[in-house]
A = this chain, B = another copy of it.
């Protein structure tokens, strides 16, 4: 239901009773698309202007599980307005927060999910090099963004949720969107690509320098490669995410820098999901988890930002890099003027 994130009133609900037969509640404008392109079993529509989607949801609940059923809802993902309309329509529902259930269910991926993540992740990986190969001093951040999107679409990636293209004094900010700023000799460029293929996301980042890199930049990058080797070497079923974070943090500190609060996170239908590899939590890795690993360093005083982010799937005896299959994680050189 593509317009759902864009039109706040076009709510989408999915009801899955114990028998597994799914019903999707969608706006009438997108009935035909939902019927044609969704994998769900049944589509129920509301008139956008005359009916409230929550009333249709209530009808579907009454019909499928009854007005006093136990149901789970992600309470961080339903609005107060919708929740209060639902509970006043069906006051005997017993509602539990399903957030933890879904977060847990999403951690270990199915083979076809890993396949989609691999395809979008590899496309994102390749496009970093391809887009910067075509880039020169004088080009704008938006020029780079256009090359990235064209390259992704040419590889069958079907949506680009957001791009990070930050150069020069913008290179160290987290998640800087592309602007008309033009590249100058000596600028750093940080790219992070959030593409989507059939709903599965990529989160892959690279760093470049316009012209010849300085010695210090090459040194940071080589440290990043070492940090990545350390982290990847610890990834296997049963490993503790805290111990991976701590090993990373220790190497960063020895190197003289303060690490950010996380090194990585799960990725799938959402960009950041469980498990996090961070300073505060601890999760035991399991085979089938897909993780984005991202050493990141902000050096505002030099206008330098560094990031090296790849994705791995946890295998029975270790990990498989699903993005950087050639291990060519160079600090990318962009042609000068």
Is the beta-carbon distance between B142 and A146 smaller than 8 angstroms?
A: no
From B75, B84, B262, B270, A79 is in contact (CB under 8 Å) with: B75
CB of A177 within 8 Å of the partner chain: yes
Tell me if B48 and A261 are in contact (CB < 8 A): yes
Contact yes or no, A175 B30, CB < 8 A: yes
Q: How far is the CA of A143 from the CA of B6 in the complex (A)?
A: 23
Q: Which residues of B contact A47 (CB under 8 A)?
A: 261
A154 x B142 contact (CB < 8 A): yes
Q: How far is the CB of A55 from chain B (nearest CB, A)?
A: 15
Answer yes or no: A295 CB below 8 A from chain B CBs.
no
Copies in the complex: 2
Does A227 interact with chain B (Cβ within 8 Å)? no
Q: Whole-angstrom distance between the alpha carbons of A30 and B175 in the complex?
A: 7
Report how many residues on chain A are interfacial, defined by Cβ distance under 8 Å. Answer: 71
Contact with B along A130-158 (1 / 0, CB 8 A): 00000000000011011101100110101
With contact pairs A78-B79, A97-B81, A261-B48 given, residues A175 and B5 touching in the complex (Cβ less than 8 Å)? no
Asked if A215 lies at the interface with its beta carbon under 8 angstroms from chain B, I say no
**Which residues of chain B are within 8 angstroms of A298 by Cβ–Cβ distance?**
32
In the complex, residue of chain B having the shortest beta-carbon distance to the beta carbon of A176: B33
A45 to chain B, nearest CB (A): 12
Contacts of A143 in B (CB 8 A): 153-154
Are B161 and A261 in contact, CB atoms less than 8 angstroms apart? no
* Contacts A6-B271, A149-B160 known; 4 new A-B pairs at CB < 8 A: A49-B281, A79-B79, A146-B154, A149-B150
Question: Which 10 residue pairs spanning A and B have beta carbons closest together?
Answer: A80-B83, A146-B150, A142-B153, A76-B81, A146-B153, A75-B81, A33-B173, A2-B175, A6-B271, A149-B149
20 interchain pairs (CB within 8 A)?
Answer: A2-B175, A2-B176, A3-B271, A7-B270, A7-B271, A7-B272, A8-B76, A8-B77, A29-B175, A30-B173, A30-B174, A30-B175, A32-B298, A75-B79, A75-B84, A77-B79, A80-B80, A80-B82, A143-B153, A160-B160
